[in-house]
Amino acid sequence: MYRVKLTPTAGRMFNSLNPTVKKQLKSMLKELYENPYLGKQLRDELIDLRSLLPVTPAELFEYLRMSPLPLAI
């Protein structure tokens, strides 16, 4: 059986999320738990890991617009 594990940094970020966003993310994590091959396989030294974008780009933009956290690109 697989587990979904957040890094300590991701866990702190998750705990500080807007409740609506947190609920959406929990739903995606549950889907990932049920189907661990759902995400995109990473490359190189991370080949055993997968990535899953939990929101559409428009939803991400809206969250970042409302978020007090700075964004560095």
Domain-wise residue ranges, the chain: 8-66
pLDDT digits (tens, 9 = 90+) for 2-48: 788 888 888 888 888 888 888 888 888 888 788 878 877 888 998 88
pTM of the model: 0.55
pLDDT digits (tens, 9 = 90+) for 29-38: 888 788 878 8
| Alpha-carbon distances of 13 from 9, 16, 25, 45, rounded to whole Å | 6, 5, 12, 24
Helix or strand holding residue 42 (H, E) = none
Q: Which amino acid appears at position 3 of this protein?
A: R
Q: What is the pLDDT of residue 73?
A: 44
